[in-house]
Structure 1
Amino acid sequence: MAPTVRKRLPLASTRPKSPGIDIGRDPVTPYLGRVFALLLLSLVAAIALGGPAAAQEPTPPPPPGTSAQPAPPENAVRVSGTLNNGGDRLASVEVRALDSTGRESARTESTSTGRWDVRVAPGTYTFEIVESSLPDDVSVQETVERDVVAGRANTVIFLFGDERTSSDTSFYEKLIRQTVDGLRFGLIIAIAGVGLSLIYGTTGLTNFAHGELVTLGAVAAWVFNVTFGMQLIAASILAIIVGVLIGLLNNAAIWKPLRRRKTGLIAQLVVSIGLAIALRYLILIFFSDRTEPFDDYQVQVQRQWGPIAITDANLVSIVISLVVLVGVALLLQKTRIGKAMRAVSDNRDLAESSGIDVERVIRFVWGLGGGLAALGGVLFAISELGGRVQWEMGFKLLLLMFAGITLGGLGTAYGALLGCVIVGLLVQLSTLVINPDLKYIGGLLILIVILVVRPQGILGSRQRIG
């Protein structure tokens, strides 16, 4: 009897075929989600490869015949400043830091732009200029004692010649300067907050991750400016484009599927909080826990027009904010997409029954909100943080954005503009009577008082229930 021969089948032939995936009527959403994930991974990779830790270069050895400075400690904190004498930048001027015992801890020399920085351990230091290194016709007024703290911008300002200190400025001049500064700050809050208000008006979503869109815009501009060596204006334009793409893909990958599943607004709010925390700490991991400066606009000349004193960066921020906000207002009033946005914000069901593509309007709002948030992040870093980027800057601005749009009227673009300007003015003017470190409290307290009197906000309308 012949033996039975059993053939061995290949393993691949024994595997069951995987069932097909039914993606419904919209086959684009899964691919947009993948693109969104790839874009975020690319941005994180660019930050990781070109961030502060990777950008460090080995310190060259000192030239022969000179003594090397002691290496900074492991917990060293960066202290910097600009030597500016009435608009003239002082180069090759020596600055040194003395600890509490009077011993020199660090010494450096200013660059051609007047910029200097040293690294010292956290503590109290006295910063002084070596007078022999100053030009013959320039004199420094006094030394500066400063508490150096890790995790924040440590800036030292020296006064030269007959420059006046803040104590020499009259209350009238302080009031005018703080009013101008409050207008600038309010316009920046409005730039970042208008998109948040439009998103709420068209979708009903209270997006707590909007602050991270602000931070991502500033971080993207920093990556293009510092890592790739682009000029800050071009880097800011690319950052706005990145913000638009992140806003669009954010909607396509997360919020549109949730709306299709009829997810409640409370559940969406919880998702936005989780997304905000995740993005915030991803930025912390891959960017830096310290404030990192842009390469451009570190030195600013202060212009003086009577009692008004303003730097070029703040003046440019005001002009850009006004132009952009006027453009947004014209978009809402004169264009078809703007009228559709206002219709969806007023009554979504009625707008949809009138033939308006609501999902198209929502996509446009998310793109517009992402671009405005990125622009607001860049302007906030340049004018408010002294040309520096912080990993939680958007979270700090988020509460003020909510205060502004709630004060003006939730879901209304013009109300958001008015409310944000009022909050900015109140925040800056409050420094005339309270400690500047507590200035954000004043705006929030005024918000509570006004909402007790008018809960719907300044330009909001009362809603009838039942």
Structure 2
Amino acid sequence: MRRGVAGLVLALLLAPVLALISSGPASAVDTLCLPGPDKACIAGTIRTDEGPLADVTLTVTDESGASQEVTTSESGKWNVQVDTEGKYVVKVDAESLPDDLDVKTGEVTVVTKFGVTKPALLTIRTADYSATTSKFDELVQSTVNGLRLGLLLALASVGLSLIYGTTGLSNFAHAEQVTLGGMLGYLLINQNGLGLWIGGLLVVVLCAFTGWFQDRVLWQPLRRRGLGLTQMMIVTIGLSLALQYVYQYTVGARTVRVLQDNPSVREFGPVTITNQSIVAMVISVIVLAGVGYALLRTRIGRATRAVSDNPALASASGIDTDRVIRLVWTVAMGLAGLSGLLYALVTNGIKWDSGLQILLLLFAAVTLGGLGTAFGALIGAIIIGLVVELSPVLGMPGDFKYATALLILILLLLVRPQGLLGKPQRVG
């Protein structure tokens, strides 16, 4: 009987991610090419400093010598679908270019893989183009990229900090919830053809439900049984590993993205940014502002802060701590799912083990800002995002940029152990 109940609880807990396994073949969406189990895509954008180039002819040739031609659209975008994995040579027809353009890289080799869209990076610039970029321009561009990464991390780290503040639990499975948001976005939007806004809203609702369900059937019973925080932390590690292998079984080792279409690019002085990134940053700011307002100005927000400061006193004052904690779990998982959706939309994609890397950045942000403080997690996430993106520009090798963020964290904790906004009595 106990085994049957445990199996039912595990099945319900993993219901949203198990839905990934039963997904059918991809449905058509508003894109020119979508990869699948037996097809791959090659895509790119032909543009110069002045803007995109239309009606440019490209030839895509496979290893057997068979070729197909494609012409860029008004936005300079192009993509082709191929039915065989292997090497393809993408070449620009120089005669289709305007006379004042110079082909710097007119031919590239792309190795395709089923289920993945591979980019073909072709460099076509004006004849008087200068390849040098000032250090200031690089700093400005990296700062914008750092703010974007920081805002995406903040969505998840705020929820992680609220969970720690109200329960004292370090949730090692929180980053897997970020991955779940990206995976569900890929399933609902790419595979099943839902619109970005409708599919995104459904992703947030499903992820929020997993948070409510986790606390209802797992964490609340464990708390009432008096299970120690160390034991519960081990449970989160096991849940994290289980979710990782569910993702690996579902999508394999490949990287998935939400919407495979090539995003439009905008230029603001030295900054180049996609429209998707702009929308993601605006959404992040609005959501974070809403969470901050709720914590400061609403009754449930004040109750949440009271439980975070002193759960026993809050309970003695008539606050339903279980209700507050369940709401925190629900909101935190919804925010993490939104973070994963936007992460898979504006970055290079998300894969089954992305949570390992994201988790380090989340814990760094929460610890840097101050354990248990939502606003500290926000500030810490922005700092971590900026450090990660700016360190290569300042001379740090690109492979060490994440280590640089953790080094900054260590140095700060040596000076201020409680973090930027944390209280000394919370340490230990």
TM norm structure 1: 0.78
The residue that corresponds to 2:382 in the other structure is: 421
Q: Structure 1 residue aligned with 2:251, among 287, 310, 321?
A: 287
CA shift in 2, pair 1:239/1:56, >3 Å: closer
CA shift in 2, pair 1:447/1:134, >3 Å: same
The residue that corresponds to 2:418 in the other structure is: 456
SS of 1:49's partner is coil
CA contact (8 A) 2:40 2:116 kept: no
CA shift in 2, pair 1:395/1:464, >3 Å: closer
Cα distance in 1 between the residues matched to 2:427 and 2:15: 45
Give CA-to-partner distance per residue, 1:74-95, whole Å, 9 cap, x none.
Answer: 9998654333455436467324
SS of 1:229's partner is coil
SS of 1:214's partner is helix
CA shift in 2, pair 1:108/1:366, >3 Å: farther
Q: Structure 2 residue aligned with 1:383, among 343, 346, 354?
A: 346
Cα distance in 2 between the residues matched to 1:294 and 1:465: 40
Counterpart AA for 2:195? Q
Counterpart AA for 1:422? I
Give CA-to-partner distance per residue, 1:33-90, whole Å, 9 cap, x none.
Answer: 958734734642444333xxx4399xxxxxxxxxxxxxxxx99986543334554364
The residue correspondences of 1:287-436 to structure 2 (distance < 5 A) are 287-295=251-259, 298-385=261-348, 388-432=349-393, 433-436=395-398
Counterpart AA for 2:26? A
Aligned length: 412
Cα distance in 2 between the residues matched to 1:139 and 1:464: 62
SS of 1:233's partner is helix
Cα distance in 1 between the residues matched to 2:293 and 2:127: 44
Cα distance in 1 between the residues matched to 2:72 and 2:62: 21
Counterpart AA for 1:96? V
CA shift in 2, pair 1:465/1:372, >3 Å: closer
Cα distance in 1 between the residues matched to 2:23 and 2:147: 38
Q: Structure 2 residue aligned with 1:55, among 21, 26, 48?
A: 26
Cα distance in 2 between the residues matched to 1:426 and 1:139: 37
Counterpart AA for 1:299? N
The residue that corresponds to 1:215 in the other structure is: 179
CA contact (8 A) 2:27 2:191 kept: no
SS of 1:160's partner is strand
Cα distance in 1 between the residues matched to 2:16 and 2:360: 29
Counterpart AA for 1:347? N
CA contact (8 A) 1:179 1:429 kept: yes
Cα distance in 2 between the residues matched to 1:56 and 1:314: 25
Counterpart AA for 2:330? G
| Structure 1: gaps spanning 5 or more residues | 1-17, 22-29, 58-73
SS of 1:161's partner is strand
The residue correspondences of 1:66-465 to structure 2 (distance < 5 A) are 80-85=43-48, 86-88=50-52, 90=54, 93-96=57-60, 109=70, 112=73, 114-116=77-79, 127-132=90-95, 140-143=103-106, 154-162=118-126, 167-295=131-259, 298-385=261-348, 388-432=349-393, 433-463=395-425
Give CA-to-partner distance per residue, 1:131-161, whole Å, 9 cap, x none.
Answer: 3565778664313656859899853322323
SS of 2:44's partner is strand
Give CA-to-partner distance per residue, 1:331-390, whole Å, 9 cap, x none.
Answer: 0000011001111111111111111100000000000001100110011111222xx442
SS of 2:425's partner is coil
CA contact (8 A) 2:13 2:213 kept: no
CA contact (8 A) 1:302 1:309 kept: yes
Cα distance in 1 between the residues matched to 2:293 and 2:426: 30
| Structure 2: gaps spanning 5 or more residues | 29-36
**Offset of residue 431 of structure 1:** 1.6
Cα distance in 2 between the residues matched to 1:419 and 1:167: 35
Counterpart AA for 1:397? I
